[in-house]
Amino acid sequence: MIRTRVGYAGGLKDNPDYHHIGDHTETVQVDYDLQRITYDALLDIFWHNHDPTSQSWSRQYKHAVFTHDDRQERLAMASKRALEKKIGRTVKSEVVPVNTFTLAEDYHQKYILKQHDDLNAEMSRIYPIHREFIDSTAAARLNGYAGGHGSKDQLAREIDRLGLTEAGKKSLTHMVSRK
Protein backbone atom coordinates (compact mmCIF):
# COMPACT_ATOMS: atom_id res chain seq x y z
CA MET A 1 0.00 0.00 0.00
CA ILE A 2 1.41 3.33 -1.03
CA ARG A 3 -1.15 5.63 0.55
CA THR A 4 -4.72 5.92 1.71
CA ARG A 5 -7.09 8.85 1.82
CA VAL A 6 -10.64 9.01 3.10
CA GLY A 7 -13.35 10.75 1.20
CA TYR A 8 -16.69 10.55 -0.56
CA ALA A 9 -17.60 8.70 -3.77
CA GLY A 10 -20.48 7.22 -5.70
CA GLY A 11 -22.80 10.18 -5.85
CA LEU A 12 -23.62 13.14 -8.04
CA LYS A 13 -23.70 15.97 -5.48
CA ASP A 14 -21.00 18.58 -6.07
CA ASN A 15 -18.49 19.15 -3.27
CA PRO A 16 -19.84 16.71 -0.67
CA ASP A 17 -18.69 17.03 2.93
CA TYR A 18 -19.46 15.20 6.13
CA HIS A 19 -22.47 17.36 6.99
CA HIS A 20 -23.76 17.59 3.40
CA ILE A 21 -22.85 14.22 1.93
CA GLY A 22 -25.82 14.04 -0.42
CA ASP A 23 -25.90 10.76 -2.35
CA HIS A 24 -22.23 9.87 -1.72
CA THR A 25 -20.72 7.12 0.40
CA GLU A 26 -17.85 7.51 2.83
CA THR A 27 -14.96 5.52 1.45
CA VAL A 28 -11.22 5.05 1.47
CA GLN A 29 -9.05 5.48 -1.59
CA VAL A 30 -6.13 3.04 -1.71
CA ASP A 31 -3.07 3.58 -3.90
CA TYR A 32 -1.09 0.36 -4.13
CA ASP A 33 1.97 -1.13 -5.80
CA LEU A 34 1.01 -3.93 -8.23
CA GLN A 35 4.50 -5.40 -7.72
CA ARG A 36 3.67 -6.01 -4.04
CA ILE A 37 -0.07 -6.73 -3.94
CA THR A 38 -2.67 -7.58 -6.54
CA TYR A 39 -6.13 -6.15 -6.98
CA ASP A 40 -7.50 -9.63 -6.20
CA ALA A 41 -5.64 -9.62 -2.88
CA LEU A 42 -7.13 -6.21 -2.06
CA LEU A 43 -10.58 -7.57 -2.85
CA ASP A 44 -9.96 -10.48 -0.45
CA ILE A 45 -9.08 -7.97 2.26
CA PHE A 46 -12.27 -6.03 1.54
CA TRP A 47 -14.53 -9.10 1.66
CA HIS A 48 -12.97 -10.37 4.88
CA ASN A 49 -13.09 -7.09 6.80
CA HIS A 50 -16.85 -6.62 6.94
CA ASP A 51 -19.98 -8.75 6.78
CA PRO A 52 -20.71 -8.73 3.05
CA THR A 53 -24.03 -10.52 3.60
CA SER A 54 -25.51 -7.75 5.74
CA GLN A 55 -27.54 -4.93 4.26
CA SER A 56 -25.89 -1.52 4.47
CA TRP A 57 -27.93 0.58 6.87
CA SER A 58 -27.41 3.83 4.97
CA ARG A 59 -26.01 5.14 1.71
CA GLN A 60 -23.40 7.08 3.68
CA TYR A 61 -21.97 3.85 5.11
CA LYS A 62 -22.72 1.55 2.16
CA HIS A 63 -20.58 -1.57 1.74
CA ALA A 64 -19.11 -1.06 -1.71
CA VAL A 65 -16.09 -1.64 -3.90
CA PHE A 66 -15.65 1.37 -6.17
CA THR A 67 -14.05 0.31 -9.45
CA HIS A 68 -12.04 2.52 -11.79
CA ASP A 69 -12.27 0.55 -15.02
CA ASP A 70 -13.82 -2.48 -16.74
CA ARG A 71 -11.03 -4.80 -15.59
CA GLN A 72 -11.51 -3.90 -11.92
CA GLU A 73 -15.27 -4.29 -12.31
CA ARG A 74 -14.90 -7.77 -13.85
CA LEU A 75 -12.49 -8.87 -11.11
CA ALA A 76 -14.67 -7.46 -8.34
CA MET A 77 -17.81 -9.12 -9.70
CA ALA A 78 -15.98 -12.44 -10.14
CA SER A 79 -14.69 -12.31 -6.57
CA LYS A 80 -18.18 -11.43 -5.31
CA ARG A 81 -19.68 -14.44 -7.15
CA ALA A 82 -16.91 -16.71 -5.86
CA LEU A 83 -17.56 -15.55 -2.30
CA GLU A 84 -21.30 -16.19 -2.70
CA LYS A 85 -20.57 -19.70 -3.95
CA LYS A 86 -18.14 -20.35 -1.09
CA ILE A 87 -20.47 -19.18 1.69
CA GLY A 88 -23.76 -20.20 0.07
CA ARG A 89 -25.36 -16.83 0.75
CA THR A 90 -26.11 -13.65 -1.17
CA VAL A 91 -23.42 -10.98 -0.92
CA LYS A 92 -25.14 -7.63 -0.51
CA SER A 93 -22.02 -5.47 -0.76
CA GLU A 94 -22.09 -3.60 -4.04
CA VAL A 95 -19.62 -3.19 -6.90
CA VAL A 96 -19.98 0.38 -8.16
CA PRO A 97 -18.07 2.42 -10.77
CA VAL A 98 -16.46 5.46 -9.20
CA ASN A 99 -17.38 8.71 -10.90
CA THR A 100 -15.50 11.09 -8.66
CA PHE A 101 -13.66 11.00 -5.38
CA THR A 102 -13.73 14.01 -3.07
CA LEU A 103 -11.29 14.15 -0.18
CA ALA A 104 -12.92 14.24 3.23
CA GLU A 105 -12.16 17.09 5.60
CA ASP A 106 -8.68 17.25 7.13
CA TYR A 107 -9.86 16.09 10.55
CA HIS A 108 -10.98 12.75 9.02
CA GLN A 109 -7.59 12.02 7.43
CA LYS A 110 -5.37 9.55 9.34
CA TYR A 111 -7.90 9.76 12.16
CA ILE A 112 -6.52 6.87 14.22
CA LEU A 113 -2.95 8.17 13.99
CA LYS A 114 -4.10 11.58 15.19
CA GLN A 115 -5.32 9.97 18.44
CA HIS A 116 -1.67 9.20 19.31
CA ASP A 117 -0.23 12.60 20.22
CA ASP A 118 3.42 11.54 20.14
CA LEU A 119 3.23 9.94 16.69
CA ASN A 120 1.02 12.72 15.34
CA ALA A 121 3.61 15.25 16.53
CA GLU A 122 6.31 13.29 14.68
CA MET A 123 4.28 13.43 11.46
CA SER A 124 3.57 17.14 11.93
CA ARG A 125 7.31 17.73 12.21
CA ILE A 126 7.97 15.79 9.00
CA TYR A 127 4.91 17.08 7.11
CA PRO A 128 4.12 20.64 8.20
CA ILE A 129 1.80 20.97 5.17
CA HIS A 130 -1.30 18.90 5.91
CA ARG A 131 -1.83 17.81 2.27
CA GLU A 132 1.65 16.24 2.31
CA PHE A 133 0.68 14.43 5.50
CA ILE A 134 -2.53 13.15 3.84
CA ASP A 135 -0.56 11.90 0.82
CA SER A 136 2.27 10.39 2.86
CA THR A 137 2.98 6.68 2.65
CA ALA A 138 4.63 6.82 6.09
CA ALA A 139 1.55 8.45 7.65
CA ALA A 140 -0.69 5.82 6.04
CA ARG A 141 1.54 3.04 7.39
CA LEU A 142 1.57 4.61 10.88
CA ASN A 143 -2.21 4.98 10.79
CA GLY A 144 -2.46 1.26 10.02
CA TYR A 145 -0.17 0.29 12.89
CA ALA A 146 -2.05 2.64 15.23
CA GLY A 147 -5.26 0.87 14.18
CA GLY A 148 -3.88 -2.51 15.16
CA HIS A 149 -2.83 -3.71 11.70
CA GLY A 150 0.62 -5.02 10.91
CA SER A 151 2.93 -7.32 12.79
CA LYS A 152 6.09 -6.76 14.83
CA ASP A 153 8.05 -8.40 12.00
CA GLN A 154 6.57 -6.03 9.41
CA LEU A 155 7.36 -3.05 11.60
CA ALA A 156 10.93 -4.21 12.17
CA ARG A 157 11.47 -4.39 8.39
CA GLU A 158 10.21 -0.86 7.71
CA ILE A 159 10.58 1.21 10.87
CA ASP A 160 13.73 2.94 9.67
CA ARG A 161 11.92 4.15 6.52
CA LEU A 162 9.12 5.92 8.41
CA GLY A 163 11.13 9.03 9.32
CA LEU A 164 10.60 8.72 13.06
CA THR A 165 12.94 9.87 15.80
CA GLU A 166 14.27 7.27 18.21
CA ALA A 167 11.51 8.24 20.66
CA GLY A 168 8.91 7.80 17.92
CA LYS A 169 10.32 4.40 16.96
CA LYS A 170 10.22 3.32 20.60
CA SER A 171 6.61 4.48 21.00
CA LEU A 172 5.46 2.73 17.82
CA THR A 173 7.33 -0.47 18.67
CA HIS A 174 5.72 -0.50 22.12
CA MET A 175 2.27 0.06 20.58
CA VAL A 176 2.67 -2.81 18.10
CA SER A 177 4.15 -5.13 20.76
CA ARG A 178 1.03 -4.76 22.93
CA LYS A 179 -1.19 -6.33 20.25
Which pairing describes strands 101-103 and 3-9: parallel, antiparallel, or unpaired?
antiparallel
pLDDT per residue as tens digits for the range 106-146? 999 999 999 999 999 999 999 999 999 999 999 999 999 99
- Please give the single-letter amino acid code of residue 16: P
Eight-class DSSP state of 157: H
pTM: 0.88
Helix, strand, coil shares of the chain, percent, nearest 5, are 45, 15, 40
Residue 179 has pLDDT above 90, yes or no: no
3-state secondary structure 6-21: EEEECCCCCCCECCEC
pLDDT per residue as tens digits for the range 66-94? 999 999 999 999 999 999 999 999 999 99
